[in-house]
Structure 1
Amino acid sequence: MDLLLGTAENAAMTTERHVSFQSAASDRRRAARAFLVMGLVWLFLAQAVLADDKRPDLLTPAERAWLDAHPRILLGVGAEWAPWVIPVGEGRIAGFAVDHLRLLGEKLGIEIGLASGPWHEMVAAAEERRLDGLTLAAPLSDRGDRFLFTENFHTVHLFLYLRDGDPLPPPGLAGLNGRRVGYLREVLRERKLLEGQASIEAVALPSQAALAEALLTGVVDAAIGSYALEYWRASNGVLGFGPKRMLSEGPARLGISIRKDWPELVGILDKGLAAITAEESAVLNRRWFGRADGFSGGSTPTGLSAEEKRWIADHPVLRVGIDPTWAPIEFFDEQRRPQGISVAYIRLVAERLGLRLEFVEARSWAAAVAQFHRRQLDLLPAVAATPSRRQRFDLTEPYVSFPAAIFAAADVAYLGGIEALQGKVVAVIESEAVHDWLREQEPEIQLLPVADTPAALRAVARGDAFAFVGNLAVTSYYIGASGLTEIKVLGETPFVYRLGMAVHRDEPMLAAILQKGLDAIPRYERDAIYNDWISIRYRVEADWGLLLRVAAGSALLLAIVGWWAFSLSREVGRRRRAEAALAELSRGLDQALAERTHELAGANVRLRRLAVDLSLSDEAARARLAGELHDSPMQKLALAQIQVESAARDPDDAETAEMLGAGQTLLSEAIAELRTLQFDLSPPVLARQGLAAALAWLAESTEARWGIRMASAVDPDLPQPRHEVSVILFQCARELVYNLIKHARASHGAIRLQSRGGDLELIVEDNGIGFDPNAAQPLPRPDGGFGLHRVRERLDLIEAELSVEPSAPGTRMRIRVPGDRMD
C-alpha cells in the first residue's frame, strides 16, 4: 500500500519574526501528526500481515506432500441441475457447485477443477478415473465398491409437482398410487424411490423441459424432482404447474465421492468442509436459492392452538368464492379453473393448514358476495376493507395491495385527481370497494354500476361513462387483453385495494387460523406469486397543450393570488415527468442518429476509397494509352517518316521532291505532337522515378512548350510518398500548371516540393495577373474545364488541403498533405 502524507503549505509568509516562529512550530506539529498517522497505519498493516501468516494450516505436512504429488484434482457434476450448475456459454459454468468448490479450495489453499455434463457420463468418467470424483453426490451403497465418501455438506429435498388446480393427493409417495409420475432419468435416487412403489407408473424423461412438457400436456399426472425443476420453470416464465408439497421420502444428504485409491484426499476434503462456517454456507444458499437454508422447502410452522386444530378437524372443507373476471388477482380460466394471486395464496394457506378447498363459481362479484351472505360460501380470498365491510365481514390483515386509478378515453386531457370527476358519469364495479368509497366520500359523482371490469371498459369506449375508477393492475390487464388501447390511465385516486381474506362475522376462529396461515408464507414465496402474475407496464401521457395553458394561467394567477403556488407546483411536477420521458425518447433518437451517422461515415470511407481507385485507374488508363501511342501509331509514323526521307533523297522530278518534303514535314510534326500527347497523358518518369522527377519534368516541358520559365525545387531528404498520393499530387500539379498557362499571363513560375511541420507541401506559383481567391469557383463545364474545383476534389481523396495565396505579383497555390498520408 502506498501512503501519500503531506502538509498544506502556508499561503503567504510575513517578514515578522514571531510569525515565522509560529509557522515553523505549526509545520513541526503537522509533520509529527503525519508521521504518527503513518506509523499507526504501518503498525496496523504489519499486524494484519502477521495475523495472516499465523493462520494455522488445516493440513499436516504429509497431507501437503500428498497434494504436491497430486497437483491436479478434477471433479464432475451433472449439467442439467440449475441453480446448482448453470451453463453460461463457451464451456463455462456457474452456480452453487462452482462457488462451493471455490470456497473449499480457499480453505485448503488448493484449486479444484470442475467438469459438467450429463450425470451418467460424469459417473462413468469417475468410475474409469478420468475424473477424480463427483461433487454433490449421494453416498449410495451401490457405489461403495468404487468410491470413498466425504462428510455430507448439503441437503436436497424432493418436491411433488402438480398442475395448477389439480387436487393434492394424500401425503407421501403412497398417495400417488395408480398414477403416472415423471422424473429425471439421470437421477438414481428418484428412480429407486419410484421403483419401491409397485403401483406407480414411473416415466423417465431426459430433461427438465421434457418433464415440464409432459406434466402440462397430461403425459404424466405428477412429477417428482428437486428445486431444479422449479428454478427452470421460473427462469423460463412457464405457468400452469409448480411444487405443491415437499415429500418426506425425498431428503438426500450430498457430499463428495472420491476414487477408491485416494483415501488421503477424503481426509483433506473433510478438513476443508469442516472449516466452512455456518455464515459462509448461509451466504452461498442466499445467493443461489434466495434463503439461508438452501431452500429447504419446509412449511413455516403455523403455531395453531389445540382449539384451532380441532376447528380444522371439524371443518376440513372451505367453500371459496372469487370474482370470475378480476385477473390477475382472481379469475376462472378457459377450463373454468380458478387462477390468480388470491387463489395462489389461499392454496398455500390451505396446504399449510391441512384444509381442502372447494371453489364455487359465480356469475359476477356481486353474485359471489350475495352467495357469501346466503351462507353458501365460507370464504372470499380477496376483499378490500371499507367501513361498511368491517361491519359485515371478519377480515385478515392485508397480504397484497394495489392502487385504484382513473381510466378514460385517450383523447381526454389528463384529469389529475378524483375531484376532476365531479358531476360526471363514472363506471364502477357493483359491490366492489371503489363503489363503496365513491358513494360514501364523493356524492357529487354520478356512479354507473356494472358487472365487471370488461363491462366498465366497454361503457367508457361507447361513451356511456366518462371514466372508470378501478384496480390499476386488473384494469391494465384487461386493456391489454381486449386491445382497447384508446383507454388509458389519466388520473390518480387516494384509494388503495388492501386485500385480505373475508369470513363470516360469527367465525372469528377461522379468521385467526387464516391469519396464521398467511403469516407462515415466507417472503420468497410471496415474491414468487407476485412475479408470476404481475407483468403490467403502464404509462400516463400528459396533454402538452393543457400543461402549457395551465402553466401560463398559473403564472398569471400567482402574481395575483399566492395560494395558486401549490397547484402550479403540481403541474410543474407532471411536466417534469413528461420531459423526462421525452428526454429518454431523445436519447433513443440520438443513439439511432449516431448509428446512422456511423453507417454514413463508413459509406463515405468506401466512396473515398473508390474515388482514389478511380483516380489511380485514370492514371493507369493514361499510362496504357500513352504506351499504346508509343508502341503502335508512333512506331508506324516513324517508319513512314524513314521511308519518305529515303524517297526524298532520290526523287524522280522536282514536283515529287516538293511533295515528299511537305509530307516529311507533316510526319515530323505529327510524331512530335504524339510524343507530346504521350507525355501529357502519363509521363513515364512518374512511374519509373517518382514524384520529384515527374515534377521536374513538368517544369521542363512547360518551359519547352509554352515558353514560360518554370523552376523546380525538391527537398532531397523528403521520403517517397505512397503511390496513390504521388499520382494525385502530380495530377493536381499538372492541373495547376495548365491553369497558370491558360489564365495567369505569367512569364515565369516555380514548382516546389518541401516538408513543413511534419507535413508535405507542394507549391505552384507564378508572376501573372493573379485572381481573387474568395470568388466563387465555376462548376465543371461540358468541355472538361474544372478549375480549382477538380483539384480540391482530388485532394479530398487523400485528406489534403489547397490554399490560394495572393503574391506580389502573381499567385501561390499551396497543397498541404498530412504526414500520416506519407507512409
Structure 2
Amino acid sequence: MDLLLCTAENAAMTTERDAPLQSTACDRRRAIRALLVIGLVWLSLVRGVVAEDNRADLLAPDERAWLDAHPRILLGVGAEWAPWVIPVGEGRIAGFAVDHLRLLGDKLGIEIGLKAGPWHEMVAAAEERRLDGLTLAAPLPERGDRFLFTEDFHTVHLFLYLRDGDPLPPPGLAGLNGRRVGYLQEVLRERKLLEGQASIEAVPLPSQAALAEALLTGAVDAAIGSYALEYWRASNGVLGFGPKRMLSEGPARLGISIRKDWPELVGILDKGLAAITAEESAVLNRRWFGRADVFSGGSVPTGLSADEKRWIADHPVLRVGIDPTWAPIEFFDEQRRPQGISVAYIRLIAERLGLRLEFVEARSWAAAVAQFHRRQLDLLPAVAATPSRRQRFDLTDPYVSFPAAIFAAADVAYLGGIEALQGKVVAVIESEAVHDWLREQEPKIQLLPVADTPAALRAVARGDAFAFVGNLAATSYYIGASGLTEIKVLGETPFVYRLGMAVHRDEPMLATILQKGLDAIPRYERDAIYNDWISIRYRVEADWGLLLRVAAGAALLLAIVGWWAFSLSREVQRRRRAEAALAELSRGLDQALAERTHELAGANIRLRRLAVDLSLSDEAARARLAGELHDSPMQKLALAQIQVESAARDPDDPETAELLGAGQALLSEAIAELRTLQFDLSPPLLARQGLAAALAWLAESTQARWGIRMTCALDPDLPQPGHEASVILFQCARELVYNLIKHARASRGTIRLQAREGCLELIVEDDGIGFDPNAPQPRPRPDGGFGLHSVRERLALIAGDLAVEPSAPGTRVRIRFPAD
C-alpha cells in the first residue's frame, strides 16, 4: 500500500529534478506509518496483557482450574419474557439476559451458554442437570434442595394491568378482592402471591398474548405481571389496557440458580457479578428498558442513602394533615376516610418506603396549618409554594398543577382578568395560597376570608361576595356536587397551584426522601391518579317538578319525532326506489363504457401497430430506393466515368481533353451526391451492423458534409435493441442531427448511446445558440418542419420519451426507452 501511495505521489510531480526529494519524502512517510502501526500493535498487546492480568487477579488458581475442568456452562431462561429474552429466529435469542451473561463472561474470561424455552421445561432440565442452572431466577425456598443461589443482581417489579377507563382499585393486592385476576401460569412467584389472597379468583394463562386477550375480552377483571406484558402490548400495537400501578407486594430480586453439586461455580459467578459496575448495569438497563429502568432497578424509590434508610427506620409513622373540603385534591369522605389526589400520592410513596400514615382530621385548612405549626403534624401533602411559605416550610418539587380561576354569578358579564376585581369584595379560603397571592399583589381588592370552598360559593350565591378566586378543579367539583349552577367561571388569573409536599424546616431529610419517592412514580401511574379523580361523576338531588315538565316536553317531542320519522321513512323508501333505478342505469352505462373503452383500446393498439409498420415501411422504401440508386443509375454513371477517363487519357486535341476533364469532374460529383443520397435514405450499416454502427456513420458523415465536429460516444456492452426500435431510434437521431445542422448554428456536437437504470439513453447535444424548452413551440407546418414533434410521435411507438435540457452553451436532447 505504501508503494502504491508513493507511486501515486511521485506521478503527481512534474520535473525530474525533484525526483530525489520525492523519494526522500515518500520514504519518510513510509517510516512514520510503520512506526504508527508498530505503536498500535504494541498498545494492543499491552492492553491484552493487562486485561489478562486483571482477569487472572479476579479468580483464585483453584477457581481457574475448576473452570478449565468444566469448559462448558449452559444456563436456561424462560422464552416468554421480552425484553429480558427475545427469540430472533433460527434458535437465536437476544435481550437483557443475553447481554448480561456476555458481560459476566467477559469479566470471568469464560463463555456462558444460554438456552431459552418454556420456563417449566427449563426448570425441569436444570433439576435433571441437563442444564447447569437458571438465570434471572428468584431464590425460592422451594428450590433450595436442588439449587444453590448466587447473589441477586436484578429486580423485577409486578404491575397491576387494567383496561383503559376502569377505576383504579384500592392499593395492594387486597384491593383486588372479589375479582378475577389473570397471571402467567409459569411464574411461581405470582401464583404464590395470589394464593395468599383467598378472596381473589386467580386465573392462570399460558402466554402474554392470552393474558392480554383475557383482559380485553373481560374474561378477567385485572392482570398482574412484570414489564414483559407492557413490552408485548407496545411491540404488537395493542390498545385498550396498560399498567396502572406498581404493586408493593411484587418486587423480586433475581439471580442465578446453579446445580447443587457445583458450589465452586457459585463463588466464581459471585465474583463476576461483583465486578460489574453500576455504570455497566445502567447501560444494560437503558438499552433494554429505556426510561423504564425503574422497572428493573433496585428498590423503589431508588438511591436512598444509609442515613435516609435509618431515618425511615427511626420514624415509621408519619402524621398527615389535609384540607377536609378540597376535593378532588384532598378531602374526607362521608365515612371520614381521607381521599383525593394528594392522598393517593402519599399512600403510594408510603407503601414503597414501608411507612405507616396517620391522617389527623381538622375542621378547615387553616386549622390543619395551625396543627402543623404546633408540630402536631409531620406532613402537609398538597401545598402551593408562596414566598412566605418557603420561609416556613421545606417543600418538595410540585407534582401536580391546577389553575386558579374567577367564579361569579352567571348573570355577570365576562370579567376577563384579575384587574376586573379591583374595588370589589372577593371571597378566598383562609390561609390558602390565593389568599397570600391576592393580599401581596392586589391590595385594591377587598378580601373576604372563608373556611372552605363550599362556604365561598355560598357567599357568592348570597351576594356577600362579588366573586370567588379559587382552585379551578376543586371549585368545579363543588359546583357540580352542590348544584349551584348559577355560579360560573367568568375570568382567568395568572395564579397556578403548583402543589408539592411540605415538611418542617428542621426535617430536610424527610423532604429529600419524599422527593425521591415522587421521582420514582412513573408517568402512567401519575396519569392514572389524575384521571381517577378529575373524571368524578357528581351526584345532584333530583327536582321532581322539573323532571315532570321535562318528561311532558319529552313526550311531545317524541310524538313530533315519531311523525317526522314516519314521513322520513316514506321519503327514504321513495328515494331508495329512485336510487335502485339510478343504479341500474349506472350499471348499464358502466357496461357500455367498458365495452367502448375495450374497443378504443383495441383500436389504439392497431393504430400503434400500423404506425410502427408505416415507419418500418418508410425505412424499407428508403432502403429499396437506395438499392435501386446503387444498382442502376450509380452503376451506369460509374461506367460512364470510366469511359470518359479512358478517352481523356488519349484526346485528339486539347479542347476535347478539357471538355472530357470537365465531364469527368461532373460525373464524380454526381456519383458522390448519389452515394450521399443513398446513405441518407437508408445507411446499409443499420441493417448489417446495427444501431451503434449506424449512429457512428451518422456522426462521421455529418462532420464530412457540414463541417460540424461531431463525435459518437457508445457505452461498451450495450444491449442491442430490436430491429423495429433500431429503425425508429435511428430516424429520431437523424431528425435531431438535421435540426442541429439547420437551426443550432453549432460548431461541435455529440451523439451518445448509453445504458442507465434498465433503459437505453440516446443523447444528442451541441454547443449552438440553444433555445428555451418551456417556451411555446410552433405548430407543425403542412409543408414540413415537424422537428421534435415527429420525434416524439416516433418514440411513442416504442414507449420512449424525450426531454430537452438546456446546457451552457447549446442544447441537450435526451431520449429514454426500455432496454428490453
Q: Shorter chain as normaliser: what TM range?
A: 0.3 to 0.5
Q: Distance in 2 between matches of 1:5 and 1:577?
A: 87
Give 1:370-385 correspondences, 5 Å limit.
381-385=381-385
Q: Distance in 1 between matches of 2:93 and 2:434?
A: 51
TM-score (norm. length: structure 1) = 0.47
Q: 1:774 to 1:642 in 2, by over 3 A?
A: same
The offset of 1:396, in angstroms, is: 8.4
Does the CA contact (< 8 Å) of 1:414 and 1:543 recur in 2? no
Q: Distance in 1 between matches of 2:57 and 2:208?
A: 42
Q: 1:689 to 1:108 in 2, by over 3 A?
A: same
Could you say what secondary structure the match of 2:57 adopts? coil
Partner of 2:621: 621
Q: Distance in 1 between matches of 2:60 and 2:603?
A: 69
Could you say what secondary structure the match of 1:292 adopts? helix
Does the CA contact (< 8 Å) of 2:406 and 2:467 recur in 1? yes
The offset of 1:114, in angstroms, is: 3.2
Deviations 1:575-594 (A, max 9, x none): 99999999999999999999
Does the CA contact (< 8 Å) of 1:750 and 1:766 recur in 2? yes
Q: Which stretch has the larger CA shift, 497-506 or 547-556?
A: 547-556
Deviations 1:490-539 (A, max 9, x none): 99987453424589999999999999998999999989989999999999
TM-score (norm. length: structure 2) = 0.47
Deviations 1:377-408 (A, max 9, x none): 99984342558999999998866567879999
The offset of 1:553, in angstroms, is: 59
Structure 1: which 5+ runs fail to align? none
Deviations 1:22-73 (A, max 9, x none): 9999999999999999999999996896576575265688987887898765
Q: 1:66 to 1:655 in 2, by over 3 A?
A: farther
The offset of 1:101, in angstroms, is: 0.6
Q: 1:460 to 1:639 in 2, by over 3 A?
A: farther
The offset of 1:731, in angstroms, is: 0.9
Q: 1:156 to 1:688 in 2, by over 3 A?
A: same
Partner of 2:459: 459
Partner of 2:601: 601
Q: 1:66 to 1:664 in 2, by over 3 A?
A: farther
Q: Distance in 1 between matches of 2:199 and 2:605?
A: 75
Q: 1:384 to 1:25 in 2, by over 3 A?
A: same
The offset of 1:480, in angstroms, is: 19
Does the CA contact (< 8 Å) of 1:96 and 1:284 recur in 2? yes
Q: Distance in 2 between matches of 1:478 and 1:41?
A: 78
Q: 1:155 to 1:740 in 2, by over 3 A?
A: closer
The offset of 1:248, in angstroms, is: 9.7
Q: Which stretch has the larger CA shift, 132-141 or 544-553?
A: 544-553
Deviations 1:64-95 (A, max 9, x none): 78878987654332234456446789987655
Q: 1:732 to 1:395 in 2, by over 3 A?
A: closer
Q: Distance in 2 between matches of 1:752 and 1:565?
A: 76
Deviations 1:247-297 (A, max 9, x none): 998776644345789888667545534544677557756877899998799
Structure 2: which 5+ runs fail to align? none
Q: Distance in 2 between matches of 1:289 and 1:795?
A: 60
Deviations 1:447-498 (A, max 9, x none): 9999999999999999999999998999999999999999999999874534
Does the CA contact (< 8 Å) of 1:74 and 1:132 recur in 2? yes
Q: Distance in 2 between matches of 1:566 and 1:6?
A: 98
Q: Which stretch has the larger CA shift, 786-795 or 350-359?
A: 350-359
Q: Which stretch has the larger CA shift, 165-174 or 396-405?
A: 165-174
The offset of 1:97, in angstroms, is: 2.1
Q: 1:87 to 1:135 in 2, by over 3 A?
A: same
Deviations 1:99-137 (A, max 9, x none): 321211101223334343432243456568775542122
Q: Distance in 2 between matches of 1:17 and 1:661?
A: 63
Q: How many residues of Structure 1 are paired with residues of Structure 2 in the alignment? A: 819
Q: Distance in 2 between matches of 1:372 and 1:200?
A: 40
Q: Which stretch has the larger CA shift, 110-119 or 243-252?
A: 243-252
Does the CA contact (< 8 Å) of 1:473 and 1:536 recur in 2? no
Q: Distance in 1 between matches of 2:267 and 2:713?
A: 88
Does the CA contact (< 8 Å) of 1:763 and 1:814 recur in 2? yes
Q: Distance in 2 between matches of 1:611 and 1:408?
A: 86
Does the CA contact (< 8 Å) of 1:13 and 1:20 recur in 2? no
Q: 1:130 to 1:493 in 2, by over 3 A?
A: farther
Does the CA contact (< 8 Å) of 2:168 and 2:532 recur in 1? no
Q: RMSD of aligned C-alpha atoms?
A: 20.0
1:664 correspondence with 2:664: yes
Could you say what secondary structure the match of 2:58 adopts? coil
Q: Which stretch has the larger CA shift, 380-389 or 794-803?
A: 794-803
The offset of 1:347, in angstroms, is: 1.9
Q: 1:314 to 1:740 in 2, by over 3 A?
A: closer
Q: Which stretch has the larger CA shift, 507-516 or 286-295?
A: 507-516
The offset of 1:345, in angstroms, is: 1.6
Deviations 1:730-761 (A, max 9, x none): 11244368889999999999999999999999
Does the CA contact (< 8 Å) of 2:147 and 2:257 recur in 1? yes
Does the CA contact (< 8 Å) of 1:416 and 1:490 recur in 2? yes
Deviations 1:327-364 (A, max 9, x none): 99779999999997534323225547988889999999
Partner of 1:128: 128
Q: Which stretch has the larger CA shift, 662-671 or 570-579?
A: 570-579
Could you say what secondary structure the match of 2:500 adopts? strand
Does the CA contact (< 8 Å) of 1:778 and 1:786 recur in 2? no
Does the CA contact (< 8 Å) of 1:350 and 1:357 recur in 2? yes
Deviations 1:585-635 (A, max 9, x none): 999999999999999999999999999999999999999999999999999
Q: Distance in 1 between matches of 2:784 and 2:404?
A: 77
Q: Distance in 2 between matches of 1:541 and 1:610?
A: 89
Does the CA contact (< 8 Å) of 1:7 and 1:31 recur in 2? no
Give 1:673-752 correspondences, 5 Å limit.
686-691=686-691, 694=694, 726-727=726-727, 729-735=729-735
The offset of 1:713, in angstroms, is: 15
Query: Percent of aligned pairs with the same residue?
Result: 92
Does the CA contact (< 8 Å) of 1:541 and 1:578 recur in 2? no
Does the CA contact (< 8 Å) of 1:290 and 1:524 recur in 2? no
Does the CA contact (< 8 Å) of 1:488 and 1:540 recur in 2? no
Q: Which stretch has the larger CA shift, 484-493 or 239-248?
A: 484-493
Does the CA contact (< 8 Å) of 1:554 and 1:565 recur in 2? no
Q: Which stretch has the larger CA shift, 389-398 or 117-126?
A: 389-398
Q: 1:650 to 1:161 in 2, by over 3 A?
A: same
Could you say what secondary structure the match of 1:778 adopts? coil
Deviations 1:181-226 (A, max 9, x none): 6543101344356557777654323345766887899877886656
Does the CA contact (< 8 Å) of 1:186 and 1:206 recur in 2? yes
Deviations 1:699-757 (A, max 9, x none): 99999999999999999999989989854541124436888999999999999999999
Partner of 2:753: 753
Deviations 1:126-170 (A, max 9, x none): 568775542122456776887676565556577889999999999
Does the CA contact (< 8 Å) of 2:55 and 2:108 recur in 1? no
Q: Distance in 2 between matches of 1:162 and 1:342?
A: 22
Does the CA contact (< 8 Å) of 1:102 and 1:112 recur in 2? yes
Give 1:22-61 correspondences, 5 Å limit.
56=56
Partner of 2:255: 255
Q: Which stretch has the larger CA shift, 724-733 or 166-175?
A: 166-175
Q: 1:758 to 1:64 in 2, by over 3 A?
A: same
Deviations 1:410-465 (A, max 9, x none): 99999999889999999999997457635652467999999999999999999999
Does the CA contact (< 8 Å) of 2:244 and 2:528 recur in 1? no
Q: Distance in 2 between matches of 1:383 and 1:95?
A: 44
Q: 1:57 to 1:491 in 2, by over 3 A?
A: farther
Does the CA contact (< 8 Å) of 2:244 and 2:525 recur in 1? no
Q: Distance in 2 between matches of 1:323 and 1:246?
A: 27
Q: Distance in 2 between matches of 1:807 and 1:511?
A: 75
Could you say what secondary structure the match of 1:813 adopts? strand
Q: 1:619 to 1:511 in 2, by over 3 A?
A: same
Does the CA contact (< 8 Å) of 1:165 and 1:337 recur in 2? no
1:346 correspondence with 2:346: yes
Q: Which stretch has the larger CA shift, 653-662 or 523-532?
A: 653-662
Q: Which stretch has the larger CA shift, 792-801 or 598-607?
A: 598-607
Q: 1:703 to 1:408 in 2, by over 3 A?
A: farther
